[in-house]
Amino acid sequence: MAALSSRCCFSLGFLVGTCTLYFFLTQVWFERKFSLQLDSQVPSTAGQLGGENQSWRVEGSALISLRYPHLQGKDSRVADQLYKKVRILCWVMTGPDNLETKARHVKATWSRHCNIVIFMSSREDPDFPTVGLGTKEGRDQLYWKTIRAFQYVEQHHSHQADWFLKADDDTFVVVDNLRWILSNYTPDEPIYFGKRFKPYTKQGYMSGGAGYVLSREALRRFVEGFRTKACTHTTSVEDLALGQCLEKMGVLAGDSRDSIHRETFHPFVPEHHLTMKFAKSFWYWNYCYYPIVEGPQCCSDLAVSFHYVDAELMHMLEYYTYHLRAYGYQYRYQPSLPEGVEPNSARTEHSPLGTERDAPGNGSSKL
């Protein structure tokens, strides 16, 4: 009797033990995710992933791009031609404290699309590399840094580029779109472009944070202005002061909007321009030279710049601009080619809807 009940207990215990451990194992122990990246199957093409084949020559503190960075799967003949025709030198306003937190991300993203890029700091850093402008740091030094930077660029690089862009280390720039805007002008014209503001000047001036670009002639006149003392350091408000000097030197403030009058240079992040309603009391309403458009038409498809872009957003915008897309999608906005540029293969000229082509500067509105 005792042996029987003992055996029963043993069997019962065995059963309970088995079941308990089984449930424990399946529910808890084996709760694992199985998103396998078949690294063994997919050939490792780390160097060519996204296909960014690029080479740089380092000349002092300037990074000179030797070849247009091609992306896999794209026909980039038009971009290639513009790269050679519209040479842009980008200089980025930064400082020793911002190299690792901000400038590094500019270097890893949009500045690779410039013909030449130079990072301007108060202090030289041969490793980054940055130019040392010999100023102090701080908001009140901004105009000094700008003056010195343009003088440096004019002295060392004016023959190597046609246009000279100034950007902050929290500005994101789509250099290819800047080339498209500038392709209708020549570097011998005294003209400059950016996000146009209207106060304090007759012709307006360009917002510093959104970036502005000077033609070679405009650059020459700016430096000349300081040489002849026609221009001096009037204020530390860099963008206004520069605008006033250029106005004095006969440099025209250009209209950087696209062919249907949408802004291309933007002083805020995309989210603000696309979704926010600016309060009527906000200074922006009184500053913008052209009428503000809120909502999706605030911004051209071929936007050139955004400002107040942090490290994370910098990479996100690079991803949105150069990588993420809707396969096969026919863009609504299809502007015509600039003069003297050969198209990408004939296929692109065929638009299934027969949408009209707009040349930049053309007044027709098309959506």
Partner 1 sequence: MISEGSSFIKGMLLGGLFCAVVTLLGNFNTGHQSTTDHLHHHIQVPSKEELLKLPEPKRLELSQSIRVYCAILVQPRELSYWAAVKETWSKHCDKAEFYSPENVKVFHSVSLDTKDKWLMLRNALKHAYTNGKGYSWYFVALPSTFAIIENLKFFLLNKDPGQPFYIGHTVKSGELEYAELEGGLVLSVEALRRLVGVFSDSVKCPEQGSVLWKLTEEKELAVCLKYTGVFAENAEDSEGKEIFNTKSVNALIKEALAEKPQEVVNGCCSDVAITFHGQSPNHMQVLMYGVYRLRPYGHTFHDSLIFLPPVDSDND
> Which residues from 341-360 bind partner 1, rule CB under 8 A?
344-345, 347-348, 352-353
Q: Which is nearer to partner 1, 328 or 363 (CB)?
A: 328
Q: Which of 12, 230, 292, 359 binds partner 1 (CB under 8 A)?
A: 12
Long-range contacts of 62-65 (CB under 8 A, 24+ apart): 62/116, 62/117, 62/118, 62/156, 62/157, 63/111, 63/116, 63/117, 63/118, 63/129, 64/115, 64/116, 64/160, 65/112, 65/114, 65/115, 65/116, 65/117
67 binding partner 1? (CB under 8 A): no
292 binding partner 1? (CB under 8 A): no
Q: Which is nearer to partner 1, 140 or 310 (CB)?
A: 310
Using the rule CB under 8 A, give the single segment among 77-85, 222-230, 234-242, 282-290 that binds partner 1: 77-85
Do 308 and 268 touch, CB atoms closer than 8 A? yes
16 binding partner 1? (CB under 8 A): yes
Q: Least distance in Å: CB of 100 to partner 1?
A: 11
Q: Least distance in Å: CB of 35 to partner 1?
A: 6
H/E segment holding residue 171: strand 171-173
Q: Which of 1, 27, 127, 291 binds partner 1 (CB under 8 A)?
A: 27
264: which 2 tokens? 């291309």
Of the candidates 311, 323, 321, the residue with the CA atom closest to the CA atom of residue 105: 311
Q: Which is nearer to partner 1, 240 or 317 (CB)?
A: 317
Distance CA 62, CA 76 (A): 25
Q: Which of 123, 301, 308, 362 binds partner 1 (CB under 8 A)?
A: 301
Cβ burial, residue 223 (10 Å; 0-12/13-18/19+): buried
- Give the three-state DSSP class for 116: strand
What residues numbered 198-217 form the site for partner 1, per CB under 8 A?
Answer: none
Distance CA 349, CA 339 (A): 15
Tell me the backbone φ, ψ of residue 351, rounded to 5 degrees: -105, 125
Measured N-to-C along each axis, helices 175-182 and 77-85 cross at an angle, to the nearest 10 degrees, of 70
Using the rule CB under 8 A, give the single segment among 15-23, 155-163, 186-194, 280-288 that binds partner 1: 15-23
Using the rule CB under 8 A, give the single segment among 17-25, 132-140, 146-154, 233-241 that binds partner 1: 17-25
Q: Which of 62, 64, 65, 81 binds partner 1 (CB under 8 A)?
A: 81
Q: Which is nearer to partner 1, 77 or 198 (CB)?
A: 77
What residues numbered 108-147 form the site for partner 1, per CB under 8 A?
Answer: 108-109, 113
Q: Which is nearer to partner 1, 18 or 234 (CB)?
A: 18
Q: Which of 283, 286, 320, 361 binds partner 1 (CB under 8 A)?
A: 320
367 binding partner 1? (CB under 8 A): yes
36 binding partner 1? (CB under 8 A): yes
Q: Which of 200, 282, 283, 319 binds partner 1 (CB under 8 A)?
A: 319
- Rounded to whole angstroms, what are the CA distances from 116 to 76, 138, 163, 196? 19, 26, 10, 25
162 binding partner 1? (CB under 8 A): no
Of the candidates 227, 218, 233, 214, the residue with the CA atom closest to the CA atom of residue 163: 214
Q: Which is nearer to partner 1, 56 or 289 (CB)?
A: 56
296 binding partner 1? (CB under 8 A): yes
Distance CA 179, CA 193 (A): 12
41 binding partner 1? (CB under 8 A): yes
325: which 2 tokens? 């897309």
Residue owning tokens 């520069």: 242
